[in-house]
Amino acid sequence: MKNRALARSTAVGLAALSLGAAMAAGLPVVGTPVPQDGIGDMREALDRAGLLRSRDELPHEFYFTRAIYTSNGGYWGRGTWAIDYPKADQQFVFGLRRLTNVDAYQGDNAVTLTDPELLRYPFLYALEVGYMNMRPEEVEALRRYLMAGGFLFIDDFWGSFEWRNFEMEIRRVLPDHEIVDLTLDHPVFHTFYDIDYIEQVPSVRIVNGGPTYEQDGYVPYVRGIFDDDGRLLVLINWNTDLGDAWEWVDNPFYPLQYSNYAYQLAVNAILYSMSH
């Protein structure tokens, strides 16, 4: 299959490179506690290593953009939007730049749903949406974003309770659009890598013998929402955690098969969103 022969060596190389870059930059690695101001510390370390770019420099072709949304719950005094941030985003972009020719901005790029700047970024990543609780103005802004050509990539929420909450929230945004299961012949599974199965990607707890699932989310799904012209607006990864696979690709105890899948599906989604 296209690019499948390179998949294993690619992920191994990404793990070694990202771990080496993190150590050289003084970034937290596995086993190192991250302080509450760890995001600021990480940005400073990336800047020292020359890896952080300013959004005010010459524009890039792609910005991996994370949605900042209102939620019930969170950690470190922040909402659930910030889970795994910014390490997962930065390590994914690190891989994207090496796996493809996409001119991707190396820094993190978290944007509120109501920020007018959001319309500059056609790809939007949102996770832990099982606790999403958008304000009316956020609902309107997200609808405007999607109808203007934006693409929403959903990740890391588990089980029937979280699904019900997300379904309620996304129906506020797109009340007249059906949620459907994507079949493996959809182009998003074949844009760059050929993906012929849906993997359940576990959190980093798998390294300590934890299960691949959380709550009652035993079976992974990839679902979608289309507009009236058949354009995929929202790609929904349910009962899986791609972000942890990006974040912990440098952990030698995190199984490689999950990191491979997580990078491949996200790369496909980005290239699909940029070409459809």
Q: Which tens digits make up the pLDDT trace of 103-160? A: 999 989 999 999 999 999 999 999 999 999 999 999 999 999 999 999 999 999 999 9
Q: How confident is the model at residue 49 (pLDDT cuts 50, 70, 90)?
A: low
Q: How confident is the model at residue 73 (pLDDT cuts 50, 70, 90)?
A: confident
CB burial readout 82-93, b (16+ within 10 A) else e: bbbbbbbbbbbb
pLDDT of residue 77: 61
pLDDT of residue 59: 87
pLDDT of residue 48: 56
Q: Which residue has the higher pLDDT, 80 or 13?
A: 80
Q: How confident is the model at residue 202 (pLDDT cuts 50, 70, 90)?
A: very high
Contact indicator for 236, 156 with CB cutoff of 8 Å: no
Mention the CATH class of domain 4-275: alpha beta
| CA count, 13 A, side-chain hemisphere, 262 | 32
Contact indicator for 252, 171 with CB cutoff of 8 Å: no
pTM score, whole prediction: 0.83
Q: Which residue has the higher pLDDT, 242 or 78?
A: 242
Q: What angle do CA 272, 122, 276 make, to 5 degrees?
A: 30
- Most confident range (mean pLDDT) of 30-34, 76-80, 269-273 is 269-273
Range of weakest confidence among 51-55, 62-66, 133-137, 156-160 = 51-55
pLDDT of residue 75: 62
pLDDT of residue 31: 29
Q: How confident is the model at residue 36 (pLDDT cuts 50, 70, 90)?
A: very low
Q: Is 78 helix (H, G, I), strand (E, B) or coil?
A: strand
Give per-residue pLDDT as tens, 232-271: 999 999 999 999 999 999 999 999 999 999 999 999 999 9
